[in-house]
Structure 1
Amino acid sequence: MPNEIMDWSKVTPRTVIPGFVGRFLHSDTMTFALWEIAAGSTLPEHSHHHEQVVHLYEGEFEMTVEGKTMRMLAGTVFAIPANARHHGRALTNCRIMDVFYPVREDYREGAGKTIIGDAARD
């Protein structure tokens, strides 16, 4: 979708893991995920080869990256390095934008296979 205006309202939301409903857009090299996350929902520990930037628009989210736990508040941004083990928990209802580089092909195809696959092994 390069050189196009993309419209979130035209993207069908998908539940990737319980409590995480996302809409996904892709450029040539990046994936953008806009999440509505229910309070109490947990993101299983996982890693992926993508660099990830997390921008918390609304709510409070507890994020653990490589064993370091931090509380994100509305308006904060955190960059997760490629291949870093991470997991999290929505302390309140949250609205988060994740940006991934390179493109998350698993999100283009449907679900977050990395997250689901790692959770199934644990």
Structure 2
Amino acid sequence: MTEHCVAWTDRTETTAPNGVAKRHLDGEGASLARITVPAGTKAPRHSHAHEQFVQVLAGSGTLETEQGTKAFGPGSVFHFPPDVWHAAEFVSETVLVEVNLAPPSHSRFA
């Protein structure tokens, strides 16, 4: 049975070698993640087959896309359609909430 109300602290945290810490909540056709990114971290140019939304809760940095480079901070929201490249540099420790939607062929909503 799926819990309808959970706290991020109740989710298992995984930490990558670069110090990026993630907590996930997975659903059918979508996932939600809370991510803490250390200052100085760089996310190289990449893309994914799924649509993604990201909200910046705390911290700052720069986002690079085909539209150029833009500074971000608390309250910024990113939207990446499938297969659109993006890169980021995190100036200060940054906390993000990320929503990943399954590609249409994998979604129960298709």
TM range (shorter): 0.7 to 0.9
Identity among equivalent pairs (%): 26
In structure 1, stretches of 5+ residues that fail to align are 104-122
- Normalised to the residue count of structure 1, the TM-score between the two structures is 0.75
Q: Distance in 2 between matches of 1:39 and 1:50?
A: 27
2:53 corresponds in structure 1 to 53
1:70 corresponds in structure 2 to 70
Alignment-mate amino acid for residue 61 of structure 1 = G
Pair 1:14-2:6 in alignment: no
**What displacement does 1:2 show?**
5.1
Contact 1:6 1:25 in 2 (8 A): no
Q: Identify if the C-alpha distance between structure 1 residues 13 and 63 changes in structure 2 by more than 3 Å, giving closer, same or farther.
A: same
Q: Distance in 2 between matches of 1:3 and 1:10?
A: 11
**What displacement does 1:67 show?**
5.8
Alignment-mate amino acid for residue 53 of structure 1 = F
- Normalised to the residue count of structure 2, the TM-score between the two structures is 0.83
Alignment-mate amino acid for residue 22 of structure 1 = K
1:82 corresponds in structure 2 to 82
In structure 2, stretches of 5+ residues that fail to align are 104-110
Root-mean-square deviation (CA), in Å? Answer: 1.9
Q: After the TM superposition, which segments of 4 or more aligned residues of structure 1 sit over 2 Å from their partners?
A: none
> Helix, strand or coil for the counterpart of 1:84?
coil
Q: Identify if the C-alpha distance between structure 1 residues 17 and 69 changes in structure 2 by more than 3 Å, giving closer, same or farther.
A: farther
Alignment-mate amino acid for residue 21 of structure 1 = A
> Helix, strand or coil for the counterpart of 1:92?
coil
Q: Over alpha carbons, which structure has the higher Rg?
A: 2
**What displacement does 1:95 show?**
0.6
Alignment-mate amino acid for residue 34 of structure 1 = R
Q: Distance in 2 between matches of 1:19 and 1:44?
A: 15
Aligned length: 103
Q: Distance in 1 between matches of 2:60 and 2:91?
A: 5
**What displacement does 1:36 show?**
0.8
Greater fraction of residues in helix: 1
